[in-house]
């Protein structure tokens, strides 16, 4: 595993925890939401640099996507 992959895994963990806490859902549900999101797709794209941002910053993208059906 390289550094970017590790950073993505840590980010996914943090985003899932935030989803669990904010939406009162289970970890599997949170991971399902995350892994099927446009936000996660963008996170996996190294060109976006999202892996280098704070989890709170990326979570804002995810929240907007969940609210509006797309990344705002």
pLDDT tens for residues 3-56? 989 999 999 999 999 999 999 999 999 999 999 999 999 999 999 999 899 999
Please report the pLDDT score of residue 53 as a whole number.
Answer: 95
- Integer angstrom CA distances of residue 20 from 7, 25, 46, 59: 20, 5, 26, 12
Residue 72 confidence (pLDDT) above 60: no
Residue 71 confidence (pLDDT) above 70: no
Please report the pLDDT score of residue 25 as a whole number.
Answer: 97
């Amino acid at each position: 595993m390289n550094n970017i992959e590790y950073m993505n895994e840590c980010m996914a963990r943090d985003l899932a925890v935030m989803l669990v806490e904010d939406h009162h859902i289970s970890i599997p549900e949170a991971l399902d939401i995350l892994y099927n999101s446009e936000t996660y797709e963008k996170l996996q794209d190294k060109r976006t640099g999202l892996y280098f941002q704070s989890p709170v910053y990326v979570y804002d993208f995810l929240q907007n996507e969940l609210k509006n059906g797309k990344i705002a």
